[in-house]
Structure 1
């Protein structure tokens, strides 16, 4: 049986992953690329834990077809999908800010 605690783990870790990813974007925007990359890695670690809890729940469904899903689980999955999306885009934003920073440095050096 799937407990609320199992489902809550997805919400907690996915929420952490999303928050860390959003903060990583802010760091990158402020020019702190190293800090941003570190936060992104921490975000990915949290996402991995959320994903493992989700996998465990899916295995419960696979082994017990009579197991019922509920809105709380749907809410957790929504959190996880949003966190995955934000984490994926964060990598792109960090790369973009890093490139912009490098271009600004080149422009200053060539004035």
Structure 2
């Protein structure tokens, strides 16, 4: 049987992953790309844990097709998908801010 505790693990770790990804974007925006990358890696680590909990729940459904589902699980999956998206965007924003930083350095050197 799938408990609320099982589902809550997805929400907790996905929430952590999303927060870390958003904070990574903020760090990159102010030029702290090294710190941003650390936060992004921590975000990915939390996301991996959330995904493992999700996989465990899906396996329970596969083993027992009559297992009832609920809106709480749907809510947890929504959190996980938001975290995945935030983490993917964070990587792109960090890369972009690194490129902008390099461009600024080149412009200053050539001025």
**d(CA) in 1 for partners of 2:63 and 2:21?**
34
CA distance in 2, matches of 1:43, 1:54: 16
* Distance in 2 between residues matched to 1:92 and 1:68, nearest whole Å: 38
Separation in 2, partners of 1:30, 1:13:
26
Q: Secondary structure at the match of 1:69?
A: coil
Where do 1:69-108 residues align within 5 Å? Answer: 69-108=69-108
Q: Which segments of structure 1 move beyond 6 Å, counting only runs of 4 or more?
A: none
Distance in 1, matches of 2:67 and 2:30, equals 47
Quote the RMSD (CA, aligned, Å): 0.3
Q: CA deviation at 1:82?
A: 0.4
Q: TM-score, normalised by structure 1?
A: 0.99
Unaligned runs of 5+ in 2: none
Give the whole-Å Cα distance in 2 for the aligned partners of 1:110 and 1:50.
Answer: 47
Give the secondary-structure state (helix, strand or coil) at the position aligned to 1:68: coil
Across the two proteins, how many residue pairs are aligned to each other? 111
